[in-house]
Structures are given as structure tokens and as C-alpha cells.
Amino acid sequence: MGLLASLDRAVRISGLYRMTMIERPEPRSLRWVPLIPLVAIAAGYALIVAALGARDIKSASLMAGAGGLVFILGLVVATFLRFFGPRLVPDPRNPLDERELVVRSRAIAVAGTMASGAAMMVCFYFAVAAPLGLWMPRGPVEWSMLGFAIQGAWLVLPTLTASWLEPRPIEGD
């Protein structure tokens, strides 16, 4: 086996071959896996916000570094997770079939509903948080990180909903 054949075999085994979209990939139902980047993004954001309010410089820098790392890893996983889950991205060489189009449209509709509902709840929370003295983003770092967190959630929510809309695989199939 030559070098190129062994590298091609390694890419196929690792699952990265799906990202090339050369051949029609098998849709996978990820179910709970998309919650990992959502939790990582939320935990990273919480650590960064806690670091911005900390008084001890050593613990603040440690929390900010750990929070930034967890936050960025969550965003990266959220970005690439859609290539490993159900097929949501159409490709001219491998168009989506009717079932995949229905799952895609329902997943995007449910994700949009969840995102807009969450945005409404956050707006109401911010309206109440200011007069009551509760936490809300204060500086540009917290607001921009919140924007990136919303972007990461928007990237992973369609994969999460499509994974739950996919039927369970048949045992032994």
C-alpha cells in the first residue's frame, strides 16, 4: 500500500472524509453530542465573566485563560459538528433527497423557534435585571462574547434538532 492510499484510508477511518462531500455520506443521529458544545460555550462564557469581576489577578488570569479555551473549543466543535451529523448542508454533486429536505426544513424551523424564544427571554431578563441589580453584560468584552455564544448556539441548534428528528437506527442494520 502506497503513501497516498494509506493516507486516504486514515482519513476514511477518522470520519474526516465526510467533510469532502465527494461521496454521499451516511446521516448519523448524534442525539446528545450537540449539547457538549452548547455546555462548553456557556461554561466558557461564565468563566470569562467571572474572571472579569475577580479581584485577584492570578485567579482572574487563570479563569480567563481556561474560560477562553473552553469557549473557543465549544465554538470550533459547534462549527464542525454539522458535518458529522444528519445531512443539512446541500451539495450540488449529492443533492438532499425528499426526506433529508423535510428533516432539514423542520430542524431549521425548530432551531429558529428555540433561538427566537431564548432571545425574547433574554430581553425580558435584561429589562428586569437592570432595576433589580442582577447580572447583565456590562463591558464590550462581555457583549461581544455573548454575541459569539449566540452564534455558536445558532450553528449547533439545527444539528441538535435534526438529530432528534431522525428515526433511531434499526438494531443490526
- Convert the pLDDT of each residue in 30-80 to its tens digit: 788 899 999 999 999 999 999 988 888 888 999 999 999 999 999 999 988
Residue 45 neighbours by CB distance under 10 Å: 22
Distance, CA of 98 to chain centre? 25
pLDDT for 169: 63
Q: What cell was used for 136?
A: 447583565
Report whether 128 contacts 166 (CB < 8 A).
no
What are the pLDDT digits (tens) for 126-154? 999 989 999 889 889 899 999 999 999 98
Query: Cβ distance 151 to 41 under 8 Å?
Result: no
pTM over 0.75, yes/no: yes
